[in-house]
Amino acid sequence: MALDISKVRYISLIRVEGGESILNIPYAEMTVDPDLIAGFVTAVIIFARTPIRTIRKAAYDILIEVGDTVLILLVVDPVPDEAPYRERMKRILANLEEEHGEKLRHFEGDVRRYREFTLDIISEFPFFISDLDLVPIKVENGSPIVYRVGKIDRKLEQVEAFINGKRTVSEIMDMMQLPEKDVLGLISILGKHKSIEFKRRLTEHDILVKAACSEFVLSKLKAQYGQPLEDLYEKFDGNLTIKEIIESLPYDTNAIWFIINKLVEEGCLEPN
């Protein structure tokens, strides 16, 4: 059975030897404090030496995998098949111990150095699965990304450079020199923290209407694109499809599409 990412509520990495929390990633609201859950699991697995792999509660399951230096716990809504979740948990553990095993054995108390590993977790368990046909759009004033450090910051900048309001998620993935699951994880980070939103790419069958953009913006666009924009803009009355409007005008189709997208981008046109 396939993994359902919407079931994931919380992930925590805990050092086996001392019980210190290395990383915690909340995915969804919970009625119980997830830190209390992590503390309970730590007490049972590490200090009581109880080899439990699943703890079932009324509203959620706690899946546990233990490595040489770290254990990972995953809080999920009850799932019929744990296997696909555990497969990813084991990959996370293997990658963490390969990259940081020696530092974890000689732990000095500073967990900040492990923030970069957040991307390895979110690549396996993204916050959501992006629709590959949607177009991400940058949004101002998203919420802070506390783990935006080191390689995560660099890779987020790479993804953001390809987000121009025109490319779909699929096209961005094809253009980037990163593993697909990393790109999807990075896009899910930006979406989770409200730094992007998504729109559907326009098709020739869409019907658009004039929106309440400012007269200043509209005047600026008219000055830039001249008579073609004025002729085009007047056609959008909520009745004609984009295809019908383009066919009624004596201008290059690609140029008209460019102006339409610009009008939508500036908030002067919107779907009917």
* CATH classification at residue 14: 3.30.450.30
Show pLDDT as tens, one digit a residue, over the chain (272 residues): 689 999 999 999 998 888 888 999 999 987 777 778 878 787 877 776 777 888 888 888 999 999 899 999 999 999 989 999 999 999 999 999 999 988 888 888 888 889 999 999 999 999 999 999 999 999 988 999 999 999 999 999 999 999 988 899 999 999 999 999 999 999 999 999 999 999 998 999 999 999 988 999 999 999 999 999 999 999 998 999 999 999 999 999 999 999 999 998 888 999 88
Q: Flag whether 116 is in a domain.
A: no
The total domain count for the chain is: 3
Give the C-alpha distances (Å, rounded to integers) separating 5 from 57, 109, 140: 19, 32, 27
Q: Is residue 114 part of a domain?
A: no
**Does any domain span residue 121?**
no
Supply 31's token pair: 């009625």
Instruction: Single out the residue in 167, 200, 233 at which a domain terminates.
Output: 200
Judge if 235 and 258 occupy the same domain. Answer: yes
Residues 177 and 196 in one domain: yes
DSSP classification of residue 12: E
Domain identity same for 196 and 216: no
Q: Are residues 165 and 231 in the same domain?
A: no
Token pair, residue 105, equals 């054995």
Same domain for 194 and 216, yes or no, is no
Q: How confident is the model at residue 72, as a pLDDT?
A: 94
The answer to whether residue 124 is domain-embedded is: no
Q: For residue 94, what pLDDT is reported?
A: 95
Q: Are 33 and 14 in contact (CB under 8 A)?
A: no
User: Do 159 and 184 have their domain in common?
Assistant: yes
Decide: 42 and 129 in contact? Cβ < 8 Å: no
The model's pTM: 0.82
> Where in the sequence is the domain holding 71, given as residue range(s)?
5-107
